[in-house]
Amino acid sequence: MDLKIGDKAPSFLAVDASGTPFDSKSIIGKKPVVIYFYPKDNTPGCTMQACGFRDSYEDFIDLGAEVIGVSSDSVNSHKKFSNQYKLPFILLSDSDKKIKKLFGVPDKLFGLLPGRVTYIINKEGIITMIFDSVLATKHISIALESLKKESYEI
């Protein structure tokens, strides 16, 4: 199922980097959310992307938004990654790739690499932006621009 702009974001359950169960309904539909899917903890592009979201996290908070990173890495891997780079946002383990499938995140390079896609979901739970690009650091500025545009339209 490929989600499109204007679709309602799906509900899902996962486990965060601290091992705590996470229910998407606790955030989605209550405030704007940036969900970014990335290939793997501790790879150069993914580390730059995570640190970019970390460095701009206050800007996202100022816009009322929460940031959530999702990959198929284990809870343990996420915990180490989050601690090492002092990531202030939620990292979710999608080891069975159910969340990725719910959102329709495509694989790249003939299915060899997990996709890198960022979704903006407004406070009503509707997807307002989808950015699919291997350019890891570009996701942060695109997400911020989209959220700023939405906040001006209100």
The catalytic residue positions are 46
Measured distance CA(27)–CA(30) in Å, rounded: 5
Q: Quick one: tokens of 72? A: 């198929």
Residue 70: Cβ within 10 Å count: 25
Residue 112: Cβ within 10 Å count: 7
Q: Is the Cβ–Cβ distance between 126 and 6 less than 8 Å?
A: yes
Closest CA to 128 of 105, 104, 108, 145: 145
Q: Is the Cβ–Cβ distance between 125 and 135 less than 8 Å?
A: no
